[in-house]
Structure 1
Amino acid sequence: MYVADQTWPELGDYVASESVAVVPLGSTEQHGPHLPLSTDHVIAESLAREAASRTGFLCTPTVNVGVSPHHRQFHGTMWVDAPQFRDYVESMTRNLTYHGVDRVVYVNAHGGNVQHLREVGRRLRDAREAYAVEWMWNDSIPELVDELFETPGPHGGPKETSMMLHLDPRHVRSERLVDAAENGLTDWSDPETVRYGSRTFYDAIDNTANGVLGDQTDATAEKGERLFEAATEQLVRLLRWLDDQPFEDLMPRDHVDPQPGSRR
């Protein structure tokens, strides 16, 4: 159920019996010479909409711009600063809680958002307003990713390329896959930007001249379909599990005994 397609009475019927919402989040950032800047938010929205369709749970509009300053040297990349991103997502989630939602899954497809979504979830949980948890699609199916790709790459690699070949092939520049692989980074087992245990890099361009990692020539639409189906099934399971949990069981646990000040 996509929230913007409903009328307010229909949404009233929903929150009278349900309290789960799915919030897709991604980015608008460079993904190399072969993938569009929309890659992350297309993947996030597609997974969220599909899981919502299969479960009947509510799906919100997508947050298309995320925390991406580490890609800023590449043309077109958009980003918001981390504090503003956290505040925006928290405010948006509190909007949902006002309408009766108290369990939220952030369907995320951008690594730069992860720690900030976790922080927002902690804030909301500590305030006992909602249980909001971040879900990253490729982290839900690591065995399949390893099975399909020799060098999957954390950004713009064959796993994201395969997903986009499945979801939005007309915007994939297939003629640039070889270029992406040859001029990107395919071996980061001994990176020059890690010295004496310190990660001395901050931006993507510090590691890869064309902004991508992994062997993009290993990508196919068929692999993308397998990734999409497997990740969607994991998301469906998460949503159904979350729906089954008593709200109090999702909230912070009490301080261990003895309680502070109990012996004063």
Structure 2
Amino acid sequence: MYLADHAWPDLESYFEEESLALVPLGSTEQHGPHLPEATDHLIGEAFAREVADRTGYLCTPTINVGVSGHHRQFHGTMWVEPPAFREYMESLTRNLTTHGIDRVIYVNAHGGNVQHLREVGSRLRQEGVAYAIEWMWDESIPELVDDLFAQNGPHGGPKETSMIQYLEPELVHDDRLEEARDTGVPSVEDAETVKHGSRTFFDAADNTDNGVLGDQTDASAEKGEQLFEAASDQLVQLSEWLAAQDFEDLLPNDHV
């Protein structure tokens, strides 16, 4: 059920019967010479809409710009500063609670958003306002990701390339996959920016000249379909688990 498609009187029954919302998030940032800057938010929205269709739970509009300042050296990357992102996401989630939503899954496809969504969720839980948790598609199926790719990236690598080849194939520059591989680096380890236990890099450009890592030629739409179906199943199960919980059981424990 996609919130923005419905007139307000037609949403009343959902809010009377259900208390869960899926909020898709991503970013608008460089993903190398072969993928669109929409990569992350396209993936996040695809998962949220798929699972909303399969379960009947509510899907909100997508948050397309996130915490992406570490990609700022590449043309077109958009970002907001972390405090602004946290404030916005907290405000948006509190908005949902006024309609009776007390549990939220942030269907997130951008690693730069993770720690900030966790902070927002923790604050809302401490206040007893809502139970809001972050979900990353690839972290829900790590064994499959490892089985499909010898080197998955992470950023702009074959797992994300496969996903967009499956979801939005017309947006992928397949003729640039070898360029992406050959002008990038296989991994952060290969970039040699971890020194004596310290991550000495701050931006993507510190690690890779073209913005991406991994072997993009190892991607395929068929692998993307496998990833999408497997992770969608995980998100369905998470949604059903969360909807079945008593809200009081989701709140912090009393002091020992």
Q: TM-score range by the shorter chain?
A: over 0.9
Whichever residue aligns with residue 149 of structure 1, its letter is F
Q: Which residue of 1 aligns with 2:147?
A: 147
Q: Which residue of 1 aligns with 2:13?
A: 13
Q: Which residue of 2 aligns with 1:36?
A: 36
Q: Which residue of 2 aligns with 1:130?
A: 130
Q: Which residue of 2 aligns with 1:24?
A: 24
Task: Report the alpha carbon displacement of residue 188 of structure 1 after superposing the two structures with TM.
Answer: 3.4
Pairwise mapping of residues 80-229 of structure 1 onto structure 2 (< 5 A)? 80-189=80-189, 191-229=191-229
For residues 222-251 of structure 1, the C-alpha deviation after alignment (integer angstroms, 9 at most, x for no partner) is 000000000100000000000010000000
For residues 160-207 of structure 1, the C-alpha deviation after alignment (integer angstroms, 9 at most, x for no partner) is 000000000001000000000001111433542112211111000000
* CA–CA separation in structure 2 for the residues paired with 1:211 and 1:191: 12
Instruction: State the 4+ residue runs in structure 1 displaced beyond 6 angstroms.
Output: none
* CA–CA separation in structure 1 for the residues paired with 2:113 and 2:215: 24
Q: In the superposition, relative to structure 1, how do residues 187 and 98 fare at CA in structure 2: closer, same or farther (>3 Å)?
A: closer
Whichever residue aligns with residue 22 of structure 2, its letter is V
C-alpha contact (below 8 Å) 2:191/2:208 kept by paired residues: no
Q: Which residue of 2 aligns with 1:74?
A: 74
* CA–CA separation in structure 1 for the residues paired with 2:169 and 2:192: 34
* CA–CA separation in structure 2 for the residues paired with 1:255 and 1:50: 40
* CA–CA separation in structure 2 for the residues paired with 1:117 and 1:10: 30
C-alpha contact (below 8 Å) 2:67/2:113 kept by paired residues: yes
* CA–CA separation in structure 2 for the residues paired with 1:222 and 1:196: 40
Gaps of 5+ in 2: none
Q: Which residue of 2 aligns with 1:60?
A: 60
Moved more, 192-201 or 240-249: 192-201
Structure 2 SS opposite 1:189:
helix
Give 1 or 2 for the bigger CA radius of gyration.
1
* CA–CA separation in structure 2 for the residues paired with 1:78 and 1:187: 24
* CA–CA separation in structure 1 for the residues paired with 2:17 and 2:190: 53
* CA–CA separation in structure 1 for the residues paired with 2:109 and 2:35: 14
Task: Report the alpha carbon displacement of residue 11 of structure 1 after superposing the two structures with TM.
Answer: 1.1
* CA–CA separation in structure 1 for the residues paired with 2:206 and 2:191: 10
Q: Which residue of 1 aligns with 2:230?
A: 230
* CA–CA separation in structure 2 for the residues paired with 1:246 and 1:188: 42
* CA–CA separation in structure 2 for the residues paired with 1:174 and 1:21: 36
C-alpha contact (below 8 Å) 2:153/2:187 kept by paired residues: no
Gaps of 5+ in 1: 257-264
Moved more, 186-195 or 162-171: 186-195
* CA–CA separation in structure 2 for the residues paired with 1:36 and 1:217: 16
Structure 1 SS opposite 2:133:
strand
Aligned length: 256
C-alpha contact (below 8 Å) 2:154/2:187 kept by paired residues: no
